[in-house]
Copies of this chain bind each other. A is one copy, B any other.
Amino acid sequence: MKNKRNRLQVITEILRSSVVGSQEDLLRLLSERKLNVTQATLSRDLKLLKVAKTPLTNGTYKYVLPSITKTISPQGTYNHLTSHGAVLSIEFSGQLAVVKTKPGYASAIAWDIDNKGSIEILGTIAGDDTILIIPREGVSRDQILDLMDVTFSEEK
């Protein structure tokens, strides 16, 4: 189908605006919007979107979007944070990763990154609102993204 892109978009909107506790629930919400798929497809969609299922204090569960999502912009893909945290975006240039933060946050966040002691990262250099991450040779962009996802949103 050609509505996969659209469906993924709608799913993120739904998850952003409501508490969804199961794929069956999501299925219902989607069909209200005339998007009919099976639960199996949702499982795959959520995996693609890296949506996590997390317990709430009220004893129920909720699907939550990851902190980093890939946005497809005119000039290639671009990873921006869906949260309102201090980290605004992550992009790559060759082997290097560039993290943009709110003004003043860069060095503190770079400290967090360094402090995680991840073997994948050789070091970081921070300005005021920009951090340059120097990954170890052979480390992929995806590995860095996973790492940041985990560093910035949920815990390791």
Contact = CB atoms under 8 A, between A and B. Distances in A.
Interface of A: 15-16, 46-48, 50-59, 64-67, 69, 82-86, 102, 104-105, 108, 112, 115-116, 142-143, 145-146, 150-156
A65 B108 contact: no
A41 to B, nearest CB: 15
A111 B54 CA distance: 25
The 4 closest A-B pairs by CB, nearest first: A52-B54, A65-B155, A52-B52, A57-B142
A66 B52 CA distance: 11
Given A105-B108, A108-B105, A156 B16 contact: yes
Contact of A46 (B52, B55, B59, B151): B55
B116 A155 contact: no
B154 A64 contact: yes
B115 A66 contact: no
Given A54-B52, A58-B142, A145-B57, A67 B112 contact: no
Contact of A156 (B55, B64, B146): B64
Contacts of A156: 15-16, 64-65, 82-83
A146 B115 contact: no
